[in-house]
Amino acid sequence: MPNATESWTFAGSRAEASAKRLGAPQHMAPPSPAARPTPTPARSVFGEWLLLRGVPDQGERHAGLPLTCAEEIARAVRGALLRHAVDPPPSALSGHTPDGRRLETPHAAFLALPDLRSRCITGAAIALPRGIESDQRQAILLAAARWERSGLRLVLGRLGTMQLTRVDAPIAGDPVDPARWLGPSHRWASVTPIALHHNPGDLTSRDPAKAARAARRAEEIVTRACAHICLPSPTRVRVMRHSLFPGVPSAPEFMPFPRKSGGSGSDKFTRVCVHAVLDFAEPVEGPVLLGAGRYFGVGLGEVWEA
């Protein structure tokens, strides 16, 4: 259908989301001539979000799905979109070129969104890279529209099923409100742990010196991961077993990542996962998705204001 994508929209930048919630510009006081200009935030490579909320239904078993199922949810969302996409699917959706090679440029990332109050997954999202080509974006919207017509249901194997509905105008404070993940902020903390691109060593060694060396290596890997999504180097990185957010599972509970290894490329390795908190000299606008699992549900950061 020529207009199949017209009813699907992506949530935009932090500024756009704020404008939609706060109303027209005339409600804002004019800046004082002597006021210090607000620094322009650094922005991650990811921009627009397509938001989906879980809808509890009698007989479904997704209620209370723990955050450790983030990878399964993310891969299921990707699979559903691929099944409803044109053939061959757009490379920005599949993450591969038409001849099957892994894309070296940013592409769509798939996320499970948690409600930290209930400590369970309550939605999902697709984050697109900034600067995505128009035809690629339209092809992803078309796949989403086709999926919606077929029911927007995720089949999760042993986890049951999950009914989703699209979210056009999230309410402030809603678990799927992208404002939680956009910032801007000088400090970010992981909600799902970061899957490290390289093995840092034994983080749990009984030898304090060996554990400290591994932690320093892990911090260096996280710093390099920021460059992968076009963020500046943080001024400080702290890696840890547990998230700063209460109730979030520890990093080892998300391992092994990926759940199914043995494929080609980077997927044939299992990754060490760590939680982290990052401080930046300048404000950073999200979404902040870090590490080897950023396209598949882990490495999601949230503003830390404590």
At 62-110, the pLDDT tens digits run: 456 899 999 999 999 999 999 999 999 999 999 999 888 998 899 999 9
Identify the residue with better confidence: 259 or 221. Answer: 221
Rounded to whole angstroms, the Cα distance separating 295 from 126 reads 9
Burial class (CB within 10 angstroms; exposed 0-12, middle 13-18, buried 19+) of 60: middle
The vertex-39 CA angle with 35 and 45, nearest 5°, equals 160
Question: How many whole angstroms separate alpha carbon 193 and alpha carbon 66?
Answer: 14
Give the tokens for residue 224: 């390099």
Q: Which residues pair with 195 in a beta bridge?
A: 273
Measured CA to CA, the distance from residue 189 to residue 69 in angstroms comes to 19
306 CB-contact burial (10 Å; exposed 0-12 / middle 13-18 / buried 19+):
exposed
State pLDDT tens for residues 255-306: 988 876 544 444 556 899 999 999 999 999 999 999 999 999 899 999 998 6
Please give the Cα distance from 12 to 18 (Å, whole number). 10
The pLDDT assigned to 223 comes to 98
DSSP result, 112-154: EEEETTTTEEEEEEEEEETT--HHHHHHHHHHHHHHHHTT-EE
**Nearest CA-CA partner of 124 in 105, 145, 152:** 152
pLDDT at 156 over 70: yes
End-to-end CA distance of the chain: 49
In sequence order, what are the beta bridge partners of 238? Answer: 277
What is the structure's pLDDT at 19?
33
Provide the pLDDT for residue 263: 46
Residue type at 228 in one-letter notation: H
Q: Indicate the burial class of 138 (C-beta count within 10 angstroms; 0-12, 13-18, 19 or more).
A: middle
Q: Distance (Å, rounded) from C-alpha 97 to C-alpha 75?
A: 18
Give SS3 for 33. Answer: coil
Distance CA 25, CA 202 (A): 53
In this prediction, residue 242 has a pLDDT band, given cuts at 50, 70 and 90, of: very high
Q: Determine the pLDDT at residue 248.
A: 92
Instruction: Kindly tell me if the per-residue pLDDT of 210 is higher than 80.
Output: yes
**Residue 34's pLDDT band (boundaries 50, 70, 90)?**
low
Question: Which residue carries 């006021």 as its tokens?
Answer: 35
Q: Rounded to whole angstroms, how far apart are CA atoms 47 and 41?
A: 13
Instruction: Check whether 24 has a pLDDT greater than 90.
Output: no
Contact 84, 143 (CB under 8 A): yes
| Residue 12's pLDDT band (cuts 50, 70, 90) | low
Which amino acid makes up residue 112?
A
